[in-house]
């Protein structure tokens, strides 16, 4: 479990670094991206890419096939569905209670 956390942390750091580089080069490419946005979205993308094997493993449970790309897509989609359902429940509970 510690190796998994370290793997994700390294992915976050590399992604954040590449995001800052992309933000620095954004003016030369003709668009505007702040360093904070580049850092944040780079870390997000790096963390997701570092977690690709776990998404593939979760997708394999659902598809029961040995297809890496399909399992990864299904794993990410399943995570987004669970996140969306959780957000809807949170909004509904907030409106009912407050």
Instruction: Give the total number of structural domains in the chain.
Output: 1
Distance of alpha carbon 36 from alpha carbon 57, whole angstroms:
32
**How big is the chain, counted in residues?**
98
Model pTM score: 0.69
| Domain boundaries, position 22 | 2-97
Q: Write out pLDDT tens, residues 10-65.
A: 999 999 999 999 999 987 888 888 889 999 999 999 988 888 888 899 999 989 98
Question: What pLDDT, on a 0 to 100 scale, did the predictor assign at position 96?
Answer: 92
Output the pLDDT for position 2.
61
With a CB cutoff of 8 Å and minimum separation 6, the contacts of 43 are 12, 13, 15, 16, 19
Please determine, for residue 9, whether its predicted confidence score (pLDDT) is greater than 60.
yes
């Amino acid at each position: 479990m510690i190796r998994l956390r370290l793997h994700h942390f390294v992915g976050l750091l590399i992604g954040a670094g590449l995001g800052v580089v992309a933000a620095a080069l954004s003016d030369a490419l003709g668009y505007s991206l702040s360093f904070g946005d580049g850092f944040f979205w780079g870390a997000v993308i790096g963390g997701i890419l570092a977690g690709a094997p776990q998404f593939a493993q979760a997708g394999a449970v659902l598809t029961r096939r040995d297809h890496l790309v399909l399992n990864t897509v299904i794993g990410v989609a399943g995570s987004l569905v669970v996140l969306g359902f959780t957000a809807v429940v949170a909004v509904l509970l907030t409106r009912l209670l407050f």
